[in-house]
A and B are shown apart, each in its own frame.
Chain A
Amino acid sequence: MRLECSGLNFAYPESETMVIQDLWFAMDGPGFHAVFGPSGVGKTSFAKLLANYRDRPQLPIQTSGIGTILYSYNLERLPGWSSTGRHLDRICPADRQDLKKELIDIFQLGPVLGARFSQLSMGQQNRMNLIRYLLQDFDLLILDESLANVDEKLRQTILLAVKELFSHKMFLYISHNLMEVARFCKDILVLTEPSREKPSKIVSGQDDTRISVLEKPSLDRIMLEVMSAF
């Protein structure tokens, strides 16, 4: 699995401001990779471009071993005409019923399966939304703040479980939580504002798993490296 970008430039139509300028990077292998940077630096624009890059053949994005790319974000909603549990039943392929049950357990959503989406808290809504993506066929799943509003402890449990259950898939995790990105991700693409003329760079994260022991000095070094990259 490889995701490569060689000199990507992007500006919205009728705007002279570049959102992404001369972006070069490569990410290899399955696992959790991250896109990090301050607000407004173009993380979501990049994620959307990547999710639909096949519709724009002129974009300098190349992939190998990656078929289906899905993009999930934290403002998505499920239709409100039936309970969230019924929605999950409908969109879950027949051969993934066990996975669905396991994910519901890990994401701690069992008690709210009978509720409508609008009745859930924001954290529950985001977890519910992420489950339905994880049940689909994908090779690369972009998680754009998909675990926002979820408490830190549960977020950590979810991230470690997803890494373990989907170890053969590639994830691109977009978050503003530096500690989390540094600790759980493999490659961290640090985006910088085009106006600052500082090239975006890849920083290697700690890529912790369930059995890893937290190495604080190494984590501090990674966080420092990320912070100094923008």
Chain B
Amino acid sequence: MLFRRIYQFMIVYAVFLAILLMVKKGLSLSDYVIPGLPLILETAVQMSAGFFTDVMDTLSVAILGQGISIFLAFFVGILGRKSSWAGSMIRVTAYNIQAYPIVALAPIIFILLGDGFLSRLLIAAMICYFPLLLSVLGVMAAPVEDIEHFYIATGRMRWQLEVKIRAFENLSKLTTVIAGSATLAMAGTIVAEFIAANAGIGYSIRIALYQSNLAAILTALFMIGIVISVYQGILETLGEMVKAKWGSENKGKLL
């Protein structure tokens, strides 16, 4: 899972680079617009270490933001699973808010909180929170009647058991959404850094952009891609391990 993610990214990146170099060649563009392969490699050697530290800085904020949004999504999703008016209100509000581009709120957050760690964290959490919330709400609000019937009929149903049954029955969906939200958290953090932060890979890309240094930007993109691939690969592997241990595997599926 982990290695597949990495080599998939390497293939995509290589194709992207090849297209870029073909455009350079086809349109006879100068190294100033699109740098040649030697310059890209030279820049990569020079800046990789620094960019790696920046990406790890960004990733740490993204992981923290993702953790917060997972916690909040489950908290609100569990509260909003009921068909009561409160549950309906939470669901409708979530559906409406998620339709709004959260990134557009970033300037307000920077004005109110400044361009430090907290702003990056908040934007990262906000960007991956709503897609997560919608999935968790969808899972938690859908009864698993074949299993729940017995517990309801015999008066054994408690909210903890209800949540456990629904989460367990949708383990595959939830682990996929959580792994997928890592990209969103990373994108949110980079956007925040790009807009106004003073650290992280987004901030480095902004500097490279002002210097029109495409080779540095390509190096940064490579670093981001590798790190996010490893992170997502780890999340997916963890998800597979959870599913293997707890999942409702069906021997019939083997046939």
Give the contacts of A24-72 with B (CB-CB under 8 A): 51, 70-72
Q: Counting CB contacts under 8 A, is A133 at the interface? A: yes
Q: Is A76 an interface residue (CB 8 A)?
A: yes
CB-contacts of B150-166 with A (<8 A)? 150, 153-154, 156, 164-165
Tell me the complex Cα distance, A50–B220, Å: 67
Which listed residue (B149, B150, B153, B248) contacts A80, Cβ 8 A? B248
Which B residues between 231 and 253 are near A, CB-CB below 8 angstroms?
246-251
State whether A78 and B147 are in contact (beta carbons under 8 Å apart), knowing that A51-B153, A136-B154 are contacts in the complex: yes
Contact among A72, A75, A118 for B249, CB-based, below 8 A: A118
Give the shortest distance, in Å, between A46 (CB) and chain B (any CB): 17
Residue from B149, B154, B248 within 8 A of A118 (CB atoms):
B248
**A155 near B: Cβ within 8 Å?**
no
Tell whether, in the assembled complex, residue B246 and residue A81 are in contact, meaning their CB atoms are under 8 Å apart: yes
**Does residue A210 face the partner (Cβ distance < 8 Å to B)?**
no
Given contacts A51-B153, A70-B153, A76-B149, contact A81 B251 (CB under 8 A): no
Q: How far is the CA of A136 from the CA of B248 in the complex (A)?
A: 25
Residue of A nearest to B144 (CB): A77
CA distance A136 to B41 in the complex (A): 72
CB distance from B94 to the nearest CB of A (A): 27
Residue A178, interface by CB 8 Å: no
- Interface contact B146-A77, CB-CB below 8 Å: yes
- The answer on a CB contact under 8 Å between B156 and A91 is yes
Q: How many A-B residue pairs have CB under 8 A?
A: 44
Bound Cα distance from A76 to B148, whole angstroms: 9
Least CB distance from B114 to A in Å reads 46
- Is A76 in contact with B249, judged by CB distance below 8 angstroms? no
The chain A residue with its CB closest to the CB of B248 is: A80
User: Taking the nearest CB of chain B, how far is it from the CB of A127, in angstroms?
Assistant: 15
With A and B bound together, what is the CA distance between A28 and B158 in angstroms?
35
Within 8 Å CB of B13, what residues of A? none
Would you list which residues of chain A between 64 and 120 have a CB under 8 Å from chain B?
70-73, 75-81, 91, 116-119
A132 contacts chain B at the CB level, 8 A cutoff: yes
Whether A118 contacts B147 in the complex (CB less than 8 A), given A81-B168, A91-B156, comes out as: no
* Interfacial chain B residues near A79, Cβ < 8 Å: 147, 164-165, 168
A76 close to B146 (CB less than 8 A): yes
- Is A118 within 8 A of B146, CB to CB? no
Are B251's CB and A80's CB within 8 A? no
**In the complex, A117 Cα to B251 Cα: how many Å?**
11
**Interface, chain B (partner A; CB < 8 A):** 146-147, 149-150, 153-154, 156, 164-165, 168, 246-251
- 21 sample A-B contacts, Cβ–Cβ < 8 Å, listed by A number: A51-B153, A70-B153, A71-B153, A72-B150, A75-B146, A76-B146, A76-B150, A77-B146, A78-B147, A79-B165, A80-B246, A80-B247, A81-B164, A81-B246, A117-B248, A118-B248, A118-B250, A118-B251, A119-B249, A129-B150, A133-B150
